[in-house]
Amino acid sequence: MISHMKINSSAARRYGAACALAALLAGCGDGPKQQAAPPPPAVTVAEPTKRTVSDFDEYVGRFVAVNSVEVRARVSGYLEGVHFKDGQLVKQGDLLFTIDKRPFQNAAEQARAAVTQTKSNLAFTTADFERGQQLVKEKTITEQTFEQRSQAYRNAQAAVSAAEAALRTSQLDLEFTELKAPIDGRIGDRRVSPGNLVTGGSGGNTTLLATIVSTDPIRFEFTFDEASYLRYERASKTGTDVASRGAGVQVALKLIDEPEFIHKGSMDFVDNVIERTTGTIRGRASFSNVNGVFTPGMFARVRVPASAPYEALLVPDSAIGSEQIRKFVLVVDGENTARTKYVTLGPLDGALRVIKSGLEPADKVVVNGMARVRAGQKVTPQAPAAAPAPGAAPAAPAK
């Protein structure tokens, strides 16, 4: 009995081991399951934008004043007063400096007295000359005596003219003791304090007292290369408004802290020679400066038209890739496959880049998701999200 139970237990163990081995072999026979391929990446595509644009060139330059004047003394003397604050705006005719007038007042009085004296002498010689005319006819005086009276009369006339000229000079010197602003503009700081002796005159050693620069309007000077100059001149011959010698061409400007070209002006001058050392020529534009922000010597960037308006295709600048020196965009064909198209770029128009060649109006350009795909790869194209209508309520967030 006992022997029979042991035999059954041993058989049961062998049977269990065989079943486990059979299950293990069955599991190994299935092999690894195949993973499903990922779906094609989703990208946003859009057709190029059509717009009328113009080519522009950009140059760096600086502002210069239309008028700039050095205020210098025209007579020598002690500086008596300064009648402005450093850096203020002045109007033409405003009193700026005064020089001690007393020596010039005395000189004017002396000149006035000299005029009176010479006129008195002229009156006497005139009467003597007129009497001599009658006496010489009557043979009462000799011809020599009459000639002497005539000479005295002419000398008296000359003396009066000289004295009057000296009086006008002394009056001018007296007037020059008050130095007034010759132009409207902003004056710099005073170079000489009251009490100092200033040197005047017309020589090169006159004393500089201050400088004045006009502020409105103001000019902007820049240089461009010889090739651009030829391109502008040839385009202007066809009637295209470019940065040529024709005045009135509209240009735009931005300061170093401004993102856009918001200031409008017009070309008013192109130089008549090309600088031999640099191969560039100087151009100039005029801008309004009512608020006085533009300051002579300030740097800025100007944008000038370089072509006539033309119809162009534009794509977002972020949709353009680089392959060494070549530029390209990814387009999606009819089989939803990304393809590379090499393009020639034009100027930037806001956030869009002008495409001069290499792109067709019906091309579907990848404008978002370009980093997730490569040429030849299948993609899932999606249209760009529509912009919300003005005043529309924002969509409720998904729950």
| Domain boundaries of the chain, sorted by first residue | 46-53+311-382, 101-176, 218-305
| Beta bridge pairs of residue 305 | 56
Per-residue model confidence as pLDDT tens digits over 167-213: 999 999 999 999 999 999 999 999 999 999 999 887 678 899 999 99
Does the pLDDT value for residue 228 go beyond 50? yes
Please give the torsion angle defined by the CA atoms of residues 182, 183, 186 and 187, in that order, rounded to the nearest 10 degrees: -10
Categorize the per-residue pLDDT at 246 as very low, low, confident or very high, splitting at 50, 70 and 90: low
- Map tokens 């008013």 to a residue: 268
pLDDT of residue 1: 43
pLDDT of residue 202: 76
Superfamily classification of domain 218-305? Efflux pump adaptor protein, beta barrel domain (2.40.30.170)
Q: CB under 8 Å to 258, separation ≥6 — which residues?
A: none
pLDDT of residue 24: 46
Does the pLDDT value for residue 388 go beyond 80? no
pLDDT of residue 242: 64
Structure tokens at 354: 């002008």
pLDDT of residue 132: 83
HSE-up of residue 369 (Cα within 13 Å, Cβ side) = 22
Measure Cα distances from 47 to 106, 341, 362, 381 in Å.
88, 14, 6, 12
Q: What is the 3-state secondary structure (H, E, C) of the chain?
A: CHHHHHHHHHHHHHHHHHHHHHHHHHHHHHCCCCCCCCCCCEEEEECCEEEEECCEEEEEEEEEECCEEEEECCCCEEEEEECCCCCCEECCCCEEEEECCHHHHHHHHHHHHHHHHHHHHHHHHHHHHHHHHHHHHCCCCCHHHHHHHHHHHHHHHHHHHHHHHHHHHHHHHHHCCEEECCCCEEECCCCCCCCCEECCCCCCCCCEEEEEECCCCEEEEEEEEHHHHHHHHHHHHCCCCCCCCCCCCEEEEEECCCCCCCEEEEEEEECCCCCCCCCEEEEEEEECCCCCCCCCCCEEEEEEECCCCEEEEEEEHHHCEEECCEEEEEEECCCCEEEEEEEEEEEEECCEEEEEECCCCCCCEEEECHHHCCCCCECEEECCCCCCCCCCCCCCCCC
pLDDT of residue 165: 94
What does CATH list as the number for 46-53+311-382? 2.40.420.20
pLDDT of residue 34: 57
Q: CB under 8 Å to 39, separation ≥6 — which residues?
A: 380
The pLDDT > 70 percentage for the chain reads: 84
Does the pLDDT value for residue 315 go beyond 70? yes
Categorize the per-residue pLDDT at 153 as very low, low, confident or very high, splitting at 50, 70 and 90: confident
Does the pLDDT value for residue 7 go beyond 60? no
The CATH fold of domain 101-176: Helix Hairpins (1.10.287)
Domains 46-53+311-382 and 218-305 agree in fold: no
pLDDT of residue 324: 83
pTM to 2 decimals?
Answer: 0.66
- Average pLDDT of the segment spanning 77-94: 93
